[in-house]
A and B are shown apart, each in its own frame.
Chain A
Amino acid sequence: MFKKFSTEEVSAQNQVKASVQRKIRQSIADEYPGLEQVLEDLIPKKSPLIVAKCQNHLNLVVVNNVPLFFNIRDGPYMPTLRLLHQYPDIMKKLQVDRGAIRFVLSGANIMCPGLTSPGGSLDDEVGAETPVAIMAEGKQHALAIGFTKMSAKEIRDINKGIGVDNMHYLNDGLWKSGYIVALATSLSFAAY
């Protein structure tokens, strides 16, 4: 989805009303209970929250110039990979085998066999149509964020075709657009 994405695709960005901001915070908190304690750090109540509207009904939640979440139409909010790397346990995880990494990193959707093979693993609680983190065999960090097409059980049973839609993956357009910001923050980390 973000294969080609740049700041030019943002058609409008505006600071949202406090009420909308509260709504966004609430839905994020509902969806990611693990984030509740850090939500205040991520999205401070005081600082302005910007929602950038992009093509294909895509919304980005931006705080301090850092894209943190995105959603499509009125769908669930999904964290960007950089955020997920910081708080890896907020999402349910699915793991793909090593052979699949290459394809996922070029934007392919995640096929069932890659999840059911010995290198992959499935969280049985995952239902259909939920955002999940895609991990990889032998790697520590997530490589993509997906949106399941079927539940974990179905993936096991059917074991064919697309199991998870690839929404956002390492080195796609959204990742790159956050790159400059990330550089700056890592520099400030270094200053500590």
Chain B
Amino acid sequence: MAGKPQPVRVLYCAVCSLPAEYCEFGPDFEKCKPWLIQNAPDLYPDLVKEANAKETDKVANQLQSTGISSGGGDGAASSAPKEEVKRLPGGKIKKKEKQEVTIEKVTRNKRKSITTVKGLELFGVKLSDASKKLGKKFATGASVVKGPTEKDQIDVQGDIAYDIVEFITDTWPDVPEAAIFFIEDGRKVPAA
């Protein structure tokens, strides 16, 4: 092995996979903290201090609670609510998708048009069933189409923009009229 440069072993964080020293710039520094305290205390001296302060509090708390329950429940309870916030790769918090149905009229060939309905699936409506129902009601072709951004939408042939609101609210009572919007000239207009 003489003269051969040995590979450097880099300490990677088990939580965010970055080298430990970059955790502070990683997607979720908070989550890495406990791991860092255990595995790389010398990189973040401040953290350890902070943790020690907390630890003393915890020990005091636990001393009180051990009389009532065993320590196991404690960890599970604190970790569960953290999971709810979905994180995008950039560290931004994902917005919860708004439950709304948007209806847009797209004209083709001057006097023919297509009505697209987006967002029905957010109300637990099966799109294939919905398209069939729409087609039957308006006696036109209706199909489930992969829209932009990987979302399914229903395309219905013909301009049915005005009747469709009533039909949606009648067939699926879960969908409130207030959650239905038209798109007119690129602006959202509530249907109600």
Contacts and interface: CB of A to CB of B under 8 A. Distances in A.
Interface stretch (B11-19, B100-108, B163-171): B11-19
Q: Which of B4, B21, B22 has the most CB of A within 10 A?
A: B22
Given A34-B5, A171-B16, A86 B22 contact: no
B5 A89 contact: yes
A34 B6 CA distance: 12
A175 B27 CA distance: 14
Interface in A177-192: 179, 182, 186, 189
SS class, residues of chain B in contact with chain A: loop
SS class, residues of chain A in contact with chain B: helix
B7 A171 contact: no
Interface in A80-124: 85-89, 101-102, 105-106
Interface residues of A, number: 24
Nearest to B91: A106
Given A37-B3, A105-B22, A106-B90, 19 more contacts: A38-B7, A85-B8, A85-B19, A86-B8, A86-B9, A87-B8, A105-B25, A139-B21, A141-B10, A141-B19, A143-B22, A170-B18, A170-B22, A171-B16, A171-B17, A171-B18, A176-B17, A182-B12, A182-B17
Contacts of A189: 9
Contacts of B10: 85-86, 141
